[in-house]
């Protein structure tokens, strides 16, 4: 289960809004991530590691750049919730271990709502509004990829190249979110 505060966006959040193209030439993902949602008011001040991002339709549309989900993960986004995602963004995010949650009623989530996501039960509990929202369950293999931290670690684990380290669950992100809530 993942718990966090929500930063709310609307429809058609494109990859240029997430990370403007002018920063893609920077050397590291850490440097690029400092410009995440640069044109969204106070994102840099509002966002805390462990927070969630919520959008409506077509989140991650536009360019297929892999840096868009990578900067969200680098900043510590615990999950992105939307009614729908651009398919290439969705694949890129799952491949790097960033949880995306499809929720038909994502528009009911408000800025600052505190949510708990239970991917096993297929529900988002909105603690702020004391309501529940159903989510589209992830296929087991996608959940396994997320639990491993991405496709590369998943493949390494399946091949036995994990040096004794097994795939971890998402408890660490939940702990980070809990610390930021208090």
State how many domains the chain has.
2
Residues 43 and 15 in one domain: yes
pLDDT tens column, 40-80: 877 877 889 999 999 999 999 998 889 999 999 999 999 99
Q: Phi and psi dihedrals of 101, rounded to 5?
A: -125, 120
State the average pLDDT over residues 138-147. Answer: 90
| Poorest-pLDDT segment among 42-46, 85-89, 145-149, 151-155 | 42-46
- The structure tokens listed for 49 are 């590691």
pTM of the model: 0.86
Eight-class DSSP state of 78: -
pLDDT band at 163 (very low <50, low <70, confident <90, very high): low
pLDDT of residue 177: 46
Q: Is 145 a domain residue?
A: no
Residues 161 and 102 in one domain: no
pLDDT of residue 179: 53
Q: Is the pLDDT of residue 149 over 70?
A: yes
Residues 55 and 134 in one domain: yes
Residues 69 and 49 in one domain: yes
Q: Concatenate the DSSP letters of all residues of 5-73 into one string.
A: EEEE--S--BHHHHS-GGGTTSSSHHHHHTTTTTTSTTHHHH--TT-EEE--SSBTBS---THHHHHHH
Range of the domain at 163: 150-181
The position carrying tokens 């966006």 is 9
């Amino acid at each position: 289960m993942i718990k966090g505060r929500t930063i709310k966006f609307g429809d058609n959040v494109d990859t240029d809004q997430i990370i403007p193209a002018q920063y893609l030439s920077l050397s590291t993902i850490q440097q690029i991530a400092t410009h995440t949602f640069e044109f969204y008011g106070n994102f840099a001040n509002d966002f805390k590691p462990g927070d969630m991002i919520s959008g409506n339709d077509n989140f991650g549309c536009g360019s297929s750049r892999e840096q868009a989900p990578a900067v969200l993960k680098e900043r510590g986004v615990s999950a992105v919730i939307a009614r729908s995602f651009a398919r290439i963004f969705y694949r890129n995010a799952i491949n790097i271990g960033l949880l995306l949650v499809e929720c038909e009623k994502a528009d009911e989530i408000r800025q600052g709502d505190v949510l708990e996501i239970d991917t096993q039960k297929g529900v988002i509990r909105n603690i702020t509004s004391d309501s529940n929202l159903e989510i589209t369950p992830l296929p087991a293999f996608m959940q396994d990829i997320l639990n491993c931290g991405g496709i590369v670690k998943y493949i390494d684990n399946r091949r036995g190249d994990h040096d004794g380290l097994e795939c971890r669950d998402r408890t660490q992100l939940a702990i980070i979110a809990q610390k930021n809530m208090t």
